[in-house]
Amino acid sequence: MNKLARFDWSSLVLCVVLVCIGLVNIYSVLYNANDNSLALSYIEKQVTSLGLGTALIIITQFLDTRFFERYASIIYLLAIVSLLGLWLFGTEVSGAQSWYSIGGFSLQPSEFAKVAVALALAKHLGDFNTQIDQTRDYIGAFLILGIPAILTLLQPDAGTALVLLGFFLVLHAEGLPSFFLLILIILFVLFLSTLLVGIYWVMAAVFLLAILYIGLQSKRKQKKAVFPALVSVVLLCGFAYSVSYIFEEIFEQRHRDRFNILLGKEVDTQGIGYNINQSQIAIGSGRFSGKGFLEGTQTKGGFVPEQQTDYIFTTIGEEWGFVGSALVLILFLTLILRIVRVAYKQKTTFARVFCLGFACTLFIHVAINLGMVVGLVPTIGIPLPLISYGGSSLLAFSVFLGIYLRIAYQRMA
């Protein structure tokens, strides 16, 4: 077979298109007719990162696939160390200590930790001794996810922690008992309902459900059912209580506000709801075909904060309209599904898990970011992959893409 034809050109092209869309829109956000030096300097930085990323991708193509499998543990350890190092050497930017600044550049190790976790998980599951439905093995997997997740959550960087939690989807696809996913869903429902209706109603509901559960059992099994039901009640109530406690006592007001806005408990378009409101105005005012390149009034007026990074999609929505935003959405969906398809064509578990990890990371990023700008998910600082301005993110996804392309090329060999 032709060697070049084996290369996953379509994924690469999709990524290149997305990056270009990113550049155009970053330029538009920062464009200023009177003094355009700011926009140009940002573009210059982004293009520099892009150059570095391209170099990384090219280098990766010349490495042996086994290289990644072999050094996965070391890469993972390095990532953990770099996360720990933040406590000592990190710089605080807007409340989160998640940056290293080296010379003129700043680097966000948590971005790279995602790649490391994907590699480590792939290695762990790829080991022929590992059976993911066995307690020892899934606990190992949980630890691989959990340690960096907790470290990032402490920075605090909830976004990255959520992305890492997303690897549960990969584990589930690989055979993790559905029980865990069910638990996750139950906890999520409990979490939401606690915030929405209050701790006491939730506790009452849990208690009622437990009694209902016991009552529905046949007489013979009733006695047996009492104990596990009681334990569940205690655990669930404990969870609900801790959610409530964390929400009320540990969360700062700004965190609470974010949730309250989203849950519709408070409506304030000037203060805390400003971001969501303005980004929806920007996207909504684009209508079908958008206002045109450099014509976005919301964009020009700087009404949406962080517009070149996390809120870049609002510019796409405003200036390119439904056509543009739907196109970006379709490009992302195609890319993710393409990677999943490639994943299941892999011969080794390591390759498959890594590819799924890449797809999953992309998905969580896209889902949370787009969900946030259109007001479906609370404000969580997470960039739109390949499009948002930001060197670390772009480099991390370059590495992801590079390894993915290399592995995908290898599959037939």
Partner 1 sequence: MRVRFFPILVGLFGIVMFVRLFSLQIVSDEYGDLSLKNSVLKQYVYPERGYIYDRNGKLLVSNQPMYDLMVVPKNLSAFDTLNLCEMLGLTKQQLIDKLTKAKRYSLRAPSVLLAQISKQDYALLQEKMWKFPGMYIQRKSVRAYQTNVASNILGYISEVNYFDIETNPYYKQGELIGRQGIEKTYEKILRGQKGVSYLQRDKFNRIIGSYKDGRLDSLPVPAQDITLSIDIDLQEYGTKLLANKRGGILAIEPNTGEILMSVSMPTYAPNLLVGRERSENFKVLKQDTLNRFLFDRSLQGQYPPGSPFKVLNALIALEEEVITPKATFTCNSGHFYARNQFMECKCKRGTINNLDRGIHKSCNTYFSNVYRRIIDKDNNAPDGMNTWHSHLGSFGLGNYLGYDHPVGQSGYVPNANFYNLWYPNQRWRGATTVSNAIGQGEILMTPIQLANVAATIANRGFFYSPHFVKGIQGDFIDSRYKTKRYTTISTKHFDPVVEGMANVVKKGTARVAAVRGIEVCGKTGTIENFTKINGVRTQLTDHSMFIAFAPKENPKIALAVIVENGYWGGRWAAPIASLVIEKYLTGDVKRKWLEKRMMEGSLEAEYAKITSNEPFTINE
**183/212 with CB nearer partner 1:** 183
Q: Does 344 bind partner 1 (CB under 8 A)?
A: yes
Task: Tell me the residue length of the chain.
Answer: 413
Q: Which of 356, 399, 401, 407 binds partner 1 (CB under 8 A)?
A: 356
What is the residue-wise DSSP string for 183-216?
HHHHHHHHHHHHHHH-HHHHHHHHHHHHHHHHHH
Encoded amino acid at 130, one letter: T
Quick one: 56 or 367, whose CB is closer to partner 1? 367
According to the binding rule CB under 8 A, does residue 367 interact with partner 1?
A: yes
Task: Out of 317, 381, 385, 402, point to the residue binding partner 1 (CB under 8 A).
Answer: 317
Does residue 321 touch partner 1 according to CB under 8 A? Answer: yes
Q: How far apart are CA 137 and CA 10, in angstroms?
A: 35
Is the CB of 216 or the CB of 330 nearer to partner 1? 330
CA distance 198 to 192: 10
Q: Which of 216, 235, 263, 333 is in the footprint of partner 1 by CB under 8 A?
A: 333
Residue 15 sits in the site that holds partner 1 (CB under 8 A): no
Does position 141 interact with partner 1 (CB under 8 A)? The reply is no
Binding-site string for partner 1 from residue 163 to residue 192, where x marks contact by CB under 8 A and - marks none: ------xx-xx-x-----------------
Residues 6+ apart with CB under 8 A from 203: 237, 240, 241
Whether the CB-CB separation of 351 and 345 falls below 8 Å is answered with no
Contact status: 137 vs partner 1 (CB under 8 A): no
Sequence-ordered list of residues with C-beta below 8 angstroms from that of 49, at least 6 positions apart, any chain: 391, 394, 395
Cβ–Cβ < 8 Å for 241, 199: yes
Query: Backbone dihedral region of 292: left (phi > 0), alpha (psi from -120 to 50 degrees) or beta?
Result: left
Q: CA 267 to CA 361: how far, in whole Å?
A: 32
Check residue 327 for interaction with partner 1 (CB under 8 A).
no
Q: Which is nearer to partner 1, 16 or 185 (CB)?
A: 185
Reported as type and span, the H/E element at residue 235 is helix 219-245
Task: Please tell me whether the peptide bond between 156 and the residue prior to it is cis, using omega within 30 degrees of 0.
Answer: yes
Decide: 8 and 405 in contact? Cβ < 8 Å.
Answer: yes
Name which of 46 and 298 has its Cβ closer to partner 1: 298
Q: Which residue in 21, 43, 351, 370 binds partner 1 (CB under 8 A)?
A: 370
Name 375's Cβ contacts closer than 8 Å, sequence gap at least 6. Answer: 262, 276, 279, 280
| Residues touching partner 1, count (CB under 8 A) | 47
Among the listed residues 52, 192, 329, 331, the single contact to partner 1 using CB under 8 A:
329
CB of 360: closest distance to partner 1 in angstroms? 7
Residues 273-302 that bind partner 1 (CB under 8 A): 278, 280-288, 295, 297-298, 300-302
- Indicate the residue among 112 and 313 with the shorter CB distance to partner 1: 313
Closest among 247, 242, 237 to 200, alpha carbons compared: 237
When asked if residue 374 is in the footprint of partner 1 (CB under 8 A), the reply is yes
Q: Shortest gap between Cβ of 247 and partner 1 (angstroms)?
A: 26
Contact letters for partner 1, residues 234-273 (x by CB under 8 A): ----------------------------------------
- Beta-bridge partners for 102: 105
* Of 45-53, 189-197, 210-218, 314-322: span binding partner 1 (CB under 8 A): 314-322
CB contact at 8 A, 411 and 17: no
CA distance 330 to 317: 14
Residue placing its CB nearer to partner 1 in the complex, 222 or 297: 297
Instruction: Give the C-alpha separation, 391 to 232, whole Å.
Output: 46
Which region, judged by CB under 8 A, interacts with partner 1, from 19-27, 94-102, 107-115, 319-327? 319-327
In degrees and rounded to multiples of 5, residue 395 shows phi and psi of: -65, -45
Candidates 77, 81, 234, 376; binder of partner 1 (CB under 8 A) is 376
Which residues of the shown chain bind partner 1 in the complex (CB under 8 A)? 33-34, 169-170, 172-173, 175, 278, 280-288, 295, 297-298, 300-303, 317-318, 321-322, 325-326, 329-330, 333, 336-337, 340, 344, 356, 359-360, 363, 366-367, 370-371, 374, 376
